[in-house]
Every structure is written in structure tokens, then in C-alpha cells.
Structure 1
């Protein structure tokens, strides 16, 4: 038992020291950044990672005054470097051409005010140090008081050296920006482990179905109607539930289909080379819907459920953080022996909003 207790004690001490070292390094890095005229944080998702990585590393190699850190994996690049403030517009122009800029923050500091504060501290510490040294020259000074004054003088000298060092560092860093840049391959974005981002986004959808082979007395040439559409991931994954009515009425034939009650699950997929749906306008995508519909006839004697599959191509007209205006065309394919009578071209337009 004594052996295990001693082992756990050593393990706890090791973890404590390790954590303290990491925390200290992070604090030191943060303090170092604050000595620069400004700090900039950039996060960029790209579709062509190899080319973007080459462009960024080339920019750092030719423009950076100093590279603090550069870490690379097959899916992302993290770089911390010092850049002349005058070169920031060139950096912004570069990353805008690489992909979707997810974060672009710039924090500026007034180094002049900080320098004035440090100069005042230096003057105050110098006066305190001179006074302490003068007291040390006093004759017949008690040993205990001398020891206290020696310790105080050493402390003042250390603080004075730090203040002078900080002033020199601030003067050196004037006109420079500390940049933290993260570059992600969008295949792994945003977390690198393919987690699903859920969203609560209801909406309404208009649908117009034009049949390829309408049959007289059985179907109309076209059906149209409205449905409720609910997005639950940013992917986009969704359900829709609605009713389509015939554009041409027929009250005489008992077998005439006067209503299609539809329910579907669907997903949309953004092409890799067309922005992956991150633009605010005109995002191209492919889609599928799978589900089924219930046929309601005039006689209400037999209401069949028929599974269906839709394959389509869509275009997001407007897309912001809060609204989505979307439309697409797909081919409506009933998975039934009566497919010939009911298949056709389906157009859908929808408006959705974040709730």
C-alpha cells in the first residue's frame, strides 16, 4: 500500500508540474503578443488545401519578420508569425482568394500610452532604488535591517530591468503585427472529426410536379401544392410534409387521383469546387429525397402508399446565417409498378429561417 501511495504521489506531482509548464507557456505567449502594435487572428477553410498551404507558407517565407510557430498536418496548418503592419492588406487579399474566411479579427494596442506608463514606472523604480542604496550607506545599520534593504534593492533592480526590457521590446515591435493563422481543409472542417452541426430551421416549400405520361381519367397533367420543410442539420438534412393538388380537376372519374400526400427525407450535397455552400448567393448543390406519398382518389375507396425517390440539382439563391431562399429541380420516381403513370419533373422552391 505504501508503494502505491508513493507512486500516486509522484504521478500527481508530475501532472501538476506538466500542467503548470503548459499554462505558463500559454500565458507567456499571450503576454508576448500584447507587446505588438496589433494582433490578428485568421481562420480559413479551403477546398484545395495543398495549393492554399503552398501559397500561405510562401507568403510567410517572403513577408514575415519572424516565425514563432508553424505546425502542419495533412488536414490543417497553424502558423504564428510577426508581420509588418503595412503588409496586412496583402495578407487579407491572399486569404480571400484561398477559400472561406471564417474568422478575421484584428485587435490594436496603443503602444505609446504603454511606453509612457513604463517610462513612469522606470523613473519611480530608479528613485526607490537610489533611496534604498542611500539607506544602505548609513553607518551602524542593524544587520537585520541591512538584510531587508539588500533584498529590497535586489527586487527593485529586477523590476527596473524588466521595465527597461519591456520598453525596448515595445519600441522594437512598433509597426508590427502578431498573426495567428489557421488553415483547414474543408473535408475535415470544422472540427476535423466529422461531427454533425445541428440546426433548428423550419420553412415552407412550393412544389410543382409535371407528369411525363399523364393518363386520362386517372391523373392530371400536373400537380402543385405546399409543404412544411424542416432542416435539422447544416449539411443540409431535412424532412418535408405536404399535399399536392391536380391543376386540372376531374370530378366524374372515381379512380382519378385528386391528391398526393407526400412525406420525404432529403439531403443536399455541395460540390467541392464551387464553394461548398459557403457563399451568400448562388450556391450550387445536388440532392436526393426518399420517402413516399399517399394517393387519394375521388371514390376514397383505396388510398395507396407508394415509395418514391427524387434525384435533383439545386441552387441556393440567398443564404445568410438566418434565412435561406432555395430552389431545385428533380426527377420524381415512384418505386412502384405504376411508375410510368406518376413519374415526372418536380420543381421545388422554399423559404427557411433559423428559429
Structure 2
């Protein structure tokens, strides 16, 4: 008899767990993100629009400009899988993607409990009205009933929205034009002034001619997406003795540079950690107390955008400074950090 009770108890517990697991699986939806770019943007975008219209997808929000379009879509899992499959056919490359399964069972249970509690409160308040004759108290009860009904309507609305979300996929789809490909010749101008600090470490400083370290303070102006910029500023030598009248202690700098995003690291579309390579072509005029010199230089660069959005850009880069004149005595590593703001 005891064995039979234990068996029935274990079976009941198993069925309860299975029921809860099934309820959990039946009360979920998927929140997904797809960030993409395409060299065939203008031809592919109408295909996506036709897919959205032909499958009657719910478009919760859409934002679009010349370079990008973002959709907030609701669809079935089958439609989501079809979009992922057809992105390659539409010539869109995926930069990154995210998927998160969200269980709504607890949230729905809370909605039901809240609605039941509000209905009970409303019923109790309405019964109280039958025994109250004072106008002031009746007015207060009517106000409480109104507030409870408003909360009940809000809970019912949220409950209906959550129930409608079960089994669906909420997709944030971001499509970007690949502006850095050879087929894209249109220049997109921006207006992003900013400041750049540089640290130049000369590899083979010549005593009495060049210092080991120079601090640079530049105004950096970015004027195209992609990106193209100019620097204008000064460099000051560190740790030069006051009695040293021959070392080059100051320098005026003007340069032109371009950065190029890698196809394999997101094409600059991320908010964080966009990697790039590029070059700086510039002119520097050095001066000291008793001597001066000038040189053209070329610096290959690599860098990473620490943070970027539509309004600001925080950038870190490294370069190898290669002057044409006095190459051996002035060349070295240069590290820079800049911050630019869009106007």
C-alpha cells in the first residue's frame, strides 16, 4: 500500500512538472535583432518591402533615411526563419544578430491575479454604495471605483498584448547601405568638430636635435562619413632642459586623413568597438630656440571607435609617424585619442 501511494505521489509530481514546463513553453515569444548592410541596398529594399506587405507582417515602427532603414516587426517563427534565409538572396550581409526567448507565463499570471483583485475591489465598493446615503461619501466611493476601473482597463490591455505576443517573434531589423564599396561614389558630408590629444614617442631621438616625447593638441574636424578629417594643432616636447637651446621643442601640425572600416568587422555600424585602418598625410614645422626644420609626413594608422552614435564619436588610434625629412631622428610611434560632436 505504501509503495502504491509513493508511486502515485511521484506520478502526480511528474505530471505537475510536465504541465508547468508545457505552460512555460506555450507562453513564450522571441525578441530578435538583425543588423545588416548591402552593396545592393537600393534594389534589395523594395524586395523586403514586398515581403513585409505580402506576408502581412505587423510593422510597429519604421524609421528611414538615405543610408539606413529600421523596422520593428512582429511575425511568426516561420516568417522569421524565412527572412534570415532570404537575406543572402537579397544581397544583405549580417553584421550581428541576437535572439532572446522571453517567458510570459509569470507576467500573465500576475495580470490575471491583478484583474481578479481589482474586480473584487470594485464589487466591494459598489456594495458599499448601497448602504451609504451621504453625498460626500458617495462621491469618494465613485472616485475610487473610477480609479479601480481605469487600472482594470490598463491591466486588461497589457494582458491582451502579452497573450497576443505568445508564439511570435518581435524583430528589430536594421538595414544599412554599404557606402565604402567601390560602387558607392556618393560622398556623405557631416559636420563633426572635435579635439584630439596625441602622444608622439620618437624611436631614435638625436641629442641636441629631437626630444624623446612630444605631446600634441589638435583640433580635429571630420567632414565625411567613412571617414575623412583634417587636424590642426601644435606639439610640445617633454622633459627638455632649459639650458638646451638646440633641441626642437615645438611643432605646428596640419594633416589630412582617411579611415576605412573593415567588411569583416561590421563596416562601422556598431555603437561600440568599430575597428578601422587608414592614413594621415601631413606637414609639420618644428622650431627650437636656435634651429628649425619642416617636413611632410605619412602615417599608416589603425584604430578603434570606442563609442559612436549619431551625435558623438570617441576614438582611439595608433600610428607610425614617418617624416620625409630627418626620418631617422624624428620617426616614431604616435597614439591619439579624440572626441567629436555632430552639429
Calculate the TM-score normalised by the size of structure 1: 0.52
Specify which of 77, 80, 86 is matched with residue 90 of structure 1.
Answer: 80
1:7-27 deviation line (CA, Å, top 9, x unaligned): xxxxxxxxxxxxxxxxxxxxx
Which residue of structure 1 lines up, in the alignment, with residue 312 of structure 2? Answer: 323
* Residue 221 (structure 1) shift: 1.1
* Residue 261 (structure 1) shift: 1.2
Specify which of 265, 270, 284 is matched with residue 274 of structure 1.
Answer: 265
Specify which of 317, 324, 333 is matched with residue 322 of structure 2.
Answer: 333
Change (3 A) 1:196 1:246: same
Question: Structure 1 stretches of 5 or more lacking a match?
Answer: 1-41, 50-71, 102-180
Specify which of 235, 240, 253 is matched with residue 226 of structure 2.
Answer: 235
Change (3 A) 1:186 1:221: same
1:93-126 deviation line (CA, Å, top 9, x unaligned): 836994369xxxxxxxxxxxxxxxxxxxxxxxxx
Question: Structure 2 stretches of 5 or more lacking a match?
Answer: 1-33, 58-74, 97-172
State how far apart, in whole Å, the 2-side matches of 1:78 and 1:45 are: 15
State how far apart, in whole Å, the 2-side matches of 1:188 and 1:251 are: 50
Report 1:132-281 matches (<5 A): 186=178, 193-281=184-272
* Residue 247 (structure 1) shift: 1.4
* Residue 77 (structure 1) shift: 6.0
Change (3 A) 1:189 1:212: closer
1:279-331 deviation line (CA, Å, top 9, x unaligned): 100000001000110011122xx432210011111000000000000010000
State how far apart, in whole Å, the 2-side matches of 1:248 and 1:346 are: 18
Contact 1:78–1:182 under 8 Å retained in 2: no
**Corresponding position: 1:307 with 2:302:** no
Which residue of structure 2 lines up, in the alignment, with residue 114 of structure 1? Answer: none
Contact 1:197–1:233 under 8 Å retained in 2: yes
Contact 2:35–2:94 under 8 Å retained in 1: no
Structure 1 runs, 4 residues or longer, greater than 6 Å off = 181-185
* Secondary structure of the structure 1 residue equivalent to 2:245: coil
* Secondary structure of the structure 2 residue equivalent to 1:341: helix
Contact 2:195–2:219 under 8 Å retained in 1: yes
Change (3 A) 1:188 1:341: closer
State how far apart, in whole Å, the 2-side matches of 1:334 and 1:209 are: 12
Report 1:332-351 matches (<5 A): 332-336=321-325, 338-351=326-339
State how far apart, in whole Å, the 2-side matches of 1:246 and 1:341 are: 14
- How many correspondences in the alignment? 207
Change (3 A) 1:346 1:315: same
State how far apart, in whole Å, the 2-side matches of 1:92 and 1:230 are: 44
* Secondary structure of the structure 1 residue equivalent to 2:210: coil
Specify which of 334, 340, 343 is matched with residue 352 of structure 1.
Answer: 340
Calculate the TM-score normalised by the size of structure 2: 0.54
* Residue 273 (structure 1) shift: 1.1
Which residue of structure 1 lines up, in the alignment, with residue 46 of structure 2? Answer: 78
* Secondary structure of the structure 1 residue equivalent to 2:205: coil
Change (3 A) 1:275 1:182: closer
